[in-house]
Amino acid sequence: MDSAAIAVTGLRKAYGDKAVLDGIDFEVAPGTVFSMLGPNGAGKTTTVNVLTTLLAPDAGTVRIAGHDVRTQIRQVRATIGVTGQFAAVDELLTGRENLRLMADLKRVKAADAVISELLERFELTDAAGKLISTYSGGMRRKLDLAMTLVGKPSIIFLDEPTTGLDPRSRRTMWQIVRELVAEGTTVFLTTQYLDEADQLADRLVVLDHGRLVAQGTPEELKRQIPGTHVRLRFADDRRLASALTILPGAVRDEQDLTARVPGDGGSRSLRDLLDRLAEHALDAEEFSVHTPDLDDVFLALTGHATTEANAE
């Protein structure tokens, strides 16, 4: 148990009689990226707040590097770094002064060297002497993360670190996360972007209405849903009906006038499929090859979870 960087069992948190987290269990291995995926309001930020000692859990245990978040708050805080959903930077200080504030509070030795190194790493050296009020959103996020890294915390929490960032800043963030993990840091990341979890996470959980509806590696989760298939949309019902009879394994999609045909996505099976259509003089209006991504996982899992919740 204690070898896990983060160990959560039976975590519950309610506001009034509304359960925000309804019994959550997971473990994060040291030096890995763990991603919590979920839509707005699923309970991601509440989870981060409990794990980072901002909120006390109602029930369950949470251990960070072996320290209990209820009883060993100081040890937990000395271990972690947190970057919240909105850049928590001091507007009336410069970039360098913000980092200096963190270094002072953490009593970091040789602070000047640490600060210069962080500024360089986050490409903020040129703006280091400017007040934060002149920074762009992306620069604020980068500075926020740089502040979190002062003092080299071994476990880092990132709550939706790329929400609202442009694609280039987003890639920079991803690169930094990869570097951190390569250095041995454990990263707990919440996101509503499926490609982000897919790109970064070693393991991920899907959170919906305060419950984990799935957990595993991105690959494992992708395996839980239908494989690669081809979608064909036809002009009318008659054509769709004949397509369903001539194409092996074809099923009518929930979308109207669309047939879903399983296949491996290779050129050979595609040619066979098109040949069969040609033999019967059938033309599809629209044709697409669909490979599963986390979007499918997510929709399949949360869709299911939602109907279950309604049925109860």
For other proteins, the closer CB: 78 or 225:
78
For other proteins, the closer CB: 107 or 168:
107
Nearest distance in Å: CB 147, other proteins: 8
Q: Does 189 bind other proteins (CB under 8 A)?
A: no
Helix 137-149, helix 95-105: angle, nearest 10 = 20
Question: Rule CB under 8 A: which of 113-132 touch other proteins?
Answer: 131
Q: How many CA atoms lie within 13 A of 107 on its CB side?
A: 1
Q: Does 105 bind other proteins (CB under 8 A)?
A: yes
In this structure, the number of other CB atoms found within 10 A of the CB of residue 78 comes to 14
Question: Distance of CA 51 to CAs 11, 45, 72, 80, 208, Å?
Answer: 10, 10, 12, 10, 18
Tokens encoding 102: 């963190």
Q: Does 4 bind other proteins (CB under 8 A)?
A: no
For other proteins, the closer CB: 2 or 254:
2
Q: Does 168 bind other proteins (CB under 8 A)?
A: no
Q: Which stretch binds other proteins (CB under 8 A): 150-158, 190-198, 265-273, 295-303?
A: 150-158
Q: Does 283 bind other proteins (CB under 8 A)?
A: no
Q: Does 289 bind other proteins (CB under 8 A)?
A: no
The Cα 295–Cα 46 span in angstroms is 23
Q: Does 68 bind other proteins (CB under 8 A)?
A: no
The Cα 65–Cα 219 span in angstroms is 27
Order of all β-strands in the sheet with 67-68: 18-28, 6-15, 59-64, 67-68
Q: Does 147 bind other proteins (CB under 8 A)?
A: yes
For other proteins, the closer CB: 187 or 277:
187
Residue 296 falls in which region: left (phi positive, over 0), alpha (psi -120 to 50) or beta: alpha
Question: Distance of CA 101 to CAs 107, 111, 275, Å?
Answer: 10, 10, 68
The Cα 146–Cα 98 span in angstroms is 10
Nearest distance in Å: CB 129, other proteins: 13
Residue from the set 18, 107, 168, 238 that interacts with other proteins by CB under 8 A:
107
Question: Rule CB under 8 A: which of 73-102 touch other proteins?
Answer: 74-75, 77-80, 82, 84-93, 97, 101-102
Residue from the set 29, 54, 235, 309 that interacts with other proteins by CB under 8 A:
54
Q: Which stretch binds other proteins (CB under 8 A): 147-155, 173-181, 222-230, 241-249?
A: 147-155
Q: Does 154 bind other proteins (CB under 8 A)?
A: yes
Q: Does 108 bind other proteins (CB under 8 A)?
A: yes
Q: Which of helix, strand or coil describes residue 94? A: strand
Using an 8 Å Cβ cutoff, are 11 and 21 in contact? yes
Residue (of 206, 205, 216, 194) closest to 292 by Cα position: 194
Q: Does 111 bind other proteins (CB under 8 A)?
A: no
Nearest distance in Å: CB 191, other proteins: 18
Beta bridge mates, 27:
7
Instruction: Please count the residues of this chain forming the interface with other proteins, following the rule CB under 8 A.
Output: 37
Under the rule (CB under 8 A), what is the footprint of other proteins?
A: 52-54, 65, 74-75, 77-80, 82, 84-93, 97, 101-102, 104-109, 131, 147, 151-155
